[in-house]
Amino acid sequence: MTEYFRATKHPWPTLLLLLPLLVAYECGIVWLGGSNPDTLRNGADAWLRWGLEAFGLNQMIVAPALVAVLFIVWSWLRRFDRPQALFTICSGMLLECFLFALALWGLSHGFAPFLDTLGVPLSNKPAVEQTVSRVVTFVGAGIYEEILFRLVLFSGLALLLKTALVPKSATVPIAACLSALLFAAAHHIGPYGEKMNTYVFLFRTMAGVYFALLFQFRGFAVAAGAHACYDVLVGLT
Protein backbone atom coordinates (compact mmCIF):
# COMPACT_ATOMS: atom_id res chain seq x y z
CA MET A 1 0.00 0.00 0.00
CA THR A 2 2.91 2.31 0.68
CA GLU A 3 4.16 1.80 -2.88
CA TYR A 4 0.66 2.40 -4.22
CA PHE A 5 0.23 5.67 -2.32
CA ARG A 6 3.62 6.84 -3.56
CA ALA A 7 2.83 5.84 -7.15
CA THR A 8 -0.49 7.72 -7.24
CA LYS A 9 1.39 11.00 -6.79
CA HIS A 10 3.70 10.27 -9.75
CA PRO A 11 2.97 12.26 -12.95
CA TRP A 12 2.70 9.18 -15.21
CA PRO A 13 -0.58 7.78 -13.81
CA THR A 14 -1.76 11.36 -13.43
CA LEU A 15 -1.24 11.92 -17.14
CA LEU A 16 -3.07 8.71 -18.05
CA LEU A 17 -6.12 9.81 -16.05
CA LEU A 18 -5.96 13.48 -17.00
CA LEU A 19 -5.86 13.34 -20.81
CA PRO A 20 -9.18 11.48 -21.34
CA LEU A 21 -10.95 13.89 -18.97
CA LEU A 22 -9.43 16.89 -20.73
CA VAL A 23 -10.48 15.63 -24.17
CA ALA A 24 -13.99 14.79 -22.94
CA TYR A 25 -14.39 18.23 -21.38
CA GLU A 26 -13.17 20.22 -24.37
CA CYS A 27 -15.29 18.18 -26.80
CA GLY A 28 -18.33 18.47 -24.52
CA ILE A 29 -18.01 22.23 -24.26
CA VAL A 30 -17.82 22.63 -28.05
CA TRP A 31 -20.70 20.22 -28.64
CA LEU A 32 -23.07 21.57 -25.99
CA GLY A 33 -22.08 25.23 -26.28
CA GLY A 34 -23.02 25.60 -29.93
CA SER A 35 -22.02 28.96 -31.35
CA ASN A 36 -21.00 30.37 -27.96
CA PRO A 37 -19.30 27.65 -25.88
CA ASP A 38 -17.59 30.17 -23.60
CA THR A 39 -20.89 30.76 -21.77
CA LEU A 40 -20.50 27.27 -20.29
CA ARG A 41 -17.10 28.02 -18.80
CA ASN A 42 -16.59 29.41 -15.31
CA GLY A 43 -14.03 30.03 -12.59
CA ALA A 44 -10.42 29.14 -13.32
CA ASP A 45 -11.18 27.90 -16.84
CA ALA A 46 -12.74 31.22 -17.84
CA TRP A 47 -9.95 33.22 -16.17
CA LEU A 48 -7.28 31.32 -18.09
CA ARG A 49 -9.03 31.84 -21.41
CA TRP A 50 -9.61 35.55 -20.85
CA GLY A 51 -5.91 35.93 -20.14
CA LEU A 52 -4.94 34.04 -23.30
CA GLU A 53 -7.31 36.10 -25.43
CA ALA A 54 -5.82 39.29 -23.96
CA PHE A 55 -2.51 38.22 -25.49
CA GLY A 56 -4.16 37.46 -28.84
CA LEU A 57 -3.93 33.68 -28.48
CA ASN A 58 -6.51 31.16 -29.61
CA GLN A 59 -7.77 30.00 -26.22
CA MET A 60 -9.71 27.04 -27.68
CA ILE A 61 -6.40 25.42 -28.67
CA VAL A 62 -3.82 26.98 -26.37
CA ALA A 63 -5.59 26.37 -23.03
CA PRO A 64 -5.88 22.56 -23.25
CA ALA A 65 -2.49 22.40 -24.99
CA LEU A 66 -0.84 24.18 -22.03
CA VAL A 67 -2.33 21.67 -19.59
CA ALA A 68 -1.34 18.69 -21.73
CA VAL A 69 2.22 19.96 -22.29
CA LEU A 70 2.66 20.69 -18.57
CA PHE A 71 1.89 17.13 -17.54
CA ILE A 72 3.65 15.53 -20.51
CA VAL A 73 6.88 17.40 -19.70
CA TRP A 74 6.52 16.60 -15.99
CA SER A 75 6.02 12.93 -16.84
CA TRP A 76 9.03 12.92 -19.16
CA LEU A 77 11.24 14.44 -16.45
CA ARG A 78 10.13 11.68 -14.07
CA ARG A 79 10.41 8.88 -16.65
CA PHE A 80 13.27 7.12 -14.86
CA ASP A 81 11.27 6.40 -11.69
CA ARG A 82 8.01 5.62 -13.45
CA PRO A 83 5.96 3.17 -11.36
CA GLN A 84 5.24 -0.31 -12.66
CA ALA A 85 1.78 -1.85 -13.13
CA LEU A 86 0.26 1.44 -14.29
CA PHE A 87 -3.05 -0.21 -15.20
CA THR A 88 -3.48 -1.52 -11.65
CA ILE A 89 -2.50 1.85 -10.17
CA CYS A 90 -4.89 3.77 -12.42
CA SER A 91 -7.70 1.34 -11.62
CA GLY A 92 -7.17 1.93 -7.93
CA MET A 93 -7.09 5.68 -8.46
CA LEU A 94 -10.36 5.57 -10.41
CA LEU A 95 -11.98 3.71 -7.53
CA GLU A 96 -10.66 6.30 -5.07
CA CYS A 97 -11.97 9.14 -7.26
CA PHE A 98 -15.45 7.64 -7.28
CA LEU A 99 -15.49 6.97 -3.54
CA PHE A 100 -14.27 10.46 -2.63
CA ALA A 101 -16.78 11.99 -5.07
CA LEU A 102 -19.55 9.92 -3.53
CA ALA A 103 -18.54 11.13 -0.07
CA LEU A 104 -18.69 14.79 -1.20
CA TRP A 105 -22.03 14.15 -2.91
CA GLY A 106 -23.35 12.81 0.39
CA LEU A 107 -22.00 15.84 2.23
CA SER A 108 -23.74 18.15 -0.24
CA HIS A 109 -27.12 16.71 0.71
CA GLY A 110 -26.55 17.33 4.39
CA PHE A 111 -24.83 20.70 4.07
CA ALA A 112 -27.93 22.92 3.97
CA PRO A 113 -29.53 21.30 7.07
CA PHE A 114 -26.17 21.64 8.85
CA LEU A 115 -26.05 25.37 8.07
CA ASP A 116 -29.63 25.72 9.24
CA THR A 117 -28.71 24.26 12.62
CA LEU A 118 -25.93 26.86 12.89
CA GLY A 119 -28.40 29.65 12.13
CA VAL A 120 -26.63 30.67 8.91
CA PRO A 121 -29.08 32.64 6.71
CA LEU A 122 -29.38 31.08 3.25
CA SER A 123 -30.61 32.81 0.12
CA ASN A 124 -32.70 31.19 -2.62
CA LYS A 125 -32.35 27.64 -1.30
CA PRO A 126 -34.92 26.15 -3.73
CA ALA A 127 -32.83 27.26 -6.71
CA VAL A 128 -29.49 26.10 -5.35
CA GLU A 129 -29.47 22.62 -6.82
CA GLN A 130 -30.33 23.94 -10.28
CA THR A 131 -27.49 26.46 -10.08
CA VAL A 132 -24.94 23.92 -8.88
CA SER A 133 -26.07 21.37 -11.48
CA ARG A 134 -25.63 23.88 -14.30
CA VAL A 135 -22.13 24.85 -13.17
CA VAL A 136 -20.70 21.38 -12.61
CA THR A 137 -22.44 19.34 -15.32
CA PHE A 138 -19.55 19.07 -17.75
CA VAL A 139 -17.01 16.31 -17.29
CA GLY A 140 -13.48 17.53 -16.64
CA ALA A 141 -14.28 21.16 -15.81
CA GLY A 142 -12.55 20.63 -12.46
CA ILE A 143 -9.20 20.03 -14.14
CA TYR A 144 -8.50 23.73 -14.61
CA GLU A 145 -9.74 24.55 -11.12
CA GLU A 146 -7.58 21.87 -9.55
CA ILE A 147 -4.54 23.13 -11.46
CA LEU A 148 -5.05 26.76 -10.41
CA PHE A 149 -6.44 26.43 -6.90
CA ARG A 150 -4.71 23.29 -5.67
CA LEU A 151 -1.59 22.65 -7.77
CA VAL A 152 -0.61 26.33 -7.96
CA LEU A 153 -2.42 28.35 -5.29
CA PHE A 154 -2.67 25.85 -2.43
CA SER A 155 0.89 24.61 -2.96
CA GLY A 156 2.17 28.18 -3.26
CA LEU A 157 0.40 29.32 -0.09
CA ALA A 158 1.66 26.30 1.83
CA LEU A 159 5.22 27.02 0.69
CA LEU A 160 4.86 30.72 1.56
CA LEU A 161 3.55 29.92 5.04
CA LYS A 162 6.33 27.43 5.57
CA THR A 163 8.90 30.05 4.51
CA ALA A 164 7.29 32.48 6.96
CA LEU A 165 7.99 29.90 9.72
CA VAL A 166 4.32 29.16 10.36
CA PRO A 167 4.07 25.92 12.40
CA LYS A 168 3.83 22.88 10.15
CA SER A 169 0.59 21.76 11.81
CA ALA A 170 -1.07 25.05 10.75
CA THR A 171 0.37 25.39 7.26
CA VAL A 172 -1.96 22.97 5.46
CA PRO A 173 -5.22 24.07 7.20
CA ILE A 174 -4.53 27.78 6.58
CA ALA A 175 -3.51 27.24 2.95
CA ALA A 176 -6.54 24.99 2.40
CA CYS A 177 -8.98 27.55 3.81
CA LEU A 178 -7.51 30.53 1.93
CA SER A 179 -7.38 28.69 -1.40
CA ALA A 180 -10.93 27.39 -0.83
CA LEU A 181 -12.29 30.90 -0.26
CA LEU A 182 -10.68 32.09 -3.49
CA PHE A 183 -11.98 28.99 -5.26
CA ALA A 184 -15.55 29.80 -4.19
CA ALA A 185 -15.21 33.50 -5.05
CA ALA A 186 -13.85 32.76 -8.55
CA HIS A 187 -17.25 31.47 -9.66
CA HIS A 188 -18.80 34.90 -9.08
CA ILE A 189 -16.22 36.99 -10.96
CA GLY A 190 -16.20 38.01 -14.62
CA PRO A 191 -18.85 38.42 -17.31
CA TYR A 192 -20.11 34.84 -16.86
CA GLY A 193 -19.88 34.86 -13.07
CA GLU A 194 -22.90 33.75 -11.08
CA LYS A 195 -24.99 35.94 -8.82
CA MET A 196 -23.85 35.58 -5.21
CA ASN A 197 -25.73 32.92 -3.26
CA THR A 198 -24.94 32.20 0.38
CA TYR A 199 -25.38 28.45 0.22
CA VAL A 200 -23.49 28.00 -3.05
CA PHE A 201 -20.56 30.09 -1.81
CA LEU A 202 -20.29 28.28 1.53
CA PHE A 203 -20.65 24.86 -0.07
CA ARG A 204 -17.94 25.61 -2.62
CA THR A 205 -15.69 26.80 0.19
CA MET A 206 -16.23 23.51 2.01
CA ALA A 207 -15.64 21.59 -1.23
CA GLY A 208 -12.46 23.61 -1.82
CA VAL A 209 -11.09 22.54 1.56
CA TYR A 210 -12.09 18.95 0.78
CA PHE A 211 -10.23 18.96 -2.56
CA ALA A 212 -7.21 20.69 -1.00
CA LEU A 213 -6.91 17.91 1.56
CA LEU A 214 -7.29 15.29 -1.18
CA PHE A 215 -4.55 17.02 -3.14
CA GLN A 216 -2.27 17.14 -0.10
CA PHE A 217 -2.70 13.54 0.99
CA ARG A 218 -3.70 11.70 -2.21
CA GLY A 219 -2.18 13.77 -5.00
CA PHE A 220 -3.39 15.82 -7.96
CA ALA A 221 -4.88 12.98 -10.01
CA VAL A 222 -7.19 11.77 -7.24
CA ALA A 223 -8.28 15.34 -6.42
CA ALA A 224 -9.00 16.19 -10.06
CA GLY A 225 -10.65 12.82 -10.70
CA ALA A 226 -12.86 13.13 -7.63
CA HIS A 227 -13.82 16.63 -8.76
CA ALA A 228 -14.78 15.31 -12.19
CA CYS A 229 -16.72 12.36 -10.75
CA TYR A 230 -18.58 14.68 -8.42
CA ASP A 231 -19.53 16.84 -11.40
CA VAL A 232 -21.04 13.78 -13.06
CA LEU A 233 -22.95 12.72 -9.93
CA VAL A 234 -24.43 16.21 -9.56
CA GLY A 235 -25.33 16.31 -13.23
CA LEU A 236 -27.14 12.98 -13.05
CA THR A 237 -29.09 13.61 -9.85
Contact status, residue 138 vs residue 29, Cβ threshold 8 Å? yes
CA 232 to CA 94: how far, in whole Å? 14
CA 222 to chain centre: 10
Question: Cα torsion for 180, 15, 85, 81, to the nearest 10°?
Answer: -90
SS3 118: coil
Does the pLDDT at position 133 exceed 50? no
3-state secondary structure 215-232: HHHHCHHHHHHHHHHHHH
Q: What is the mean pLDDT of residues 59-67?
A: 82
What is the reported pLDDT for 122? 60
Q: What is the pLDDT of residues 181-192, one digit of tens each?
A: 998 888 777 665
What is the reported pLDDT for 121? 60
Does the pLDDT at position 43 exceed 80? no
CA 135 to chain centre: 13
Does the pLDDT at position 95 exceed 50? yes
Does the pLDDT at position 80 exceed 60? yes
Question: What is the count of structural domains for the chain?
Answer: 1
DSSP letter string, 132-175: HHHHT-STTTHHHHIIIIIIIIIHHHHHHHHHTT--HHHHHHHH
Q: What is the pLDDT of residues 50-60, one digit of tens each?
A: 777 777 777 77
What is the reported pLDDT for 30? 75
pLDDT bin (cut points 50, 70, 90) of residue 131 is very low
pTM for the complete prediction?
0.83
Cβ neighbours, 10 Å, residue 98: 16
Structural domain including 56 reads 2-236
Q: Residues with Cβ < 8 Å from 190, sequence gap 6 or more?
A: 46, 47, 50
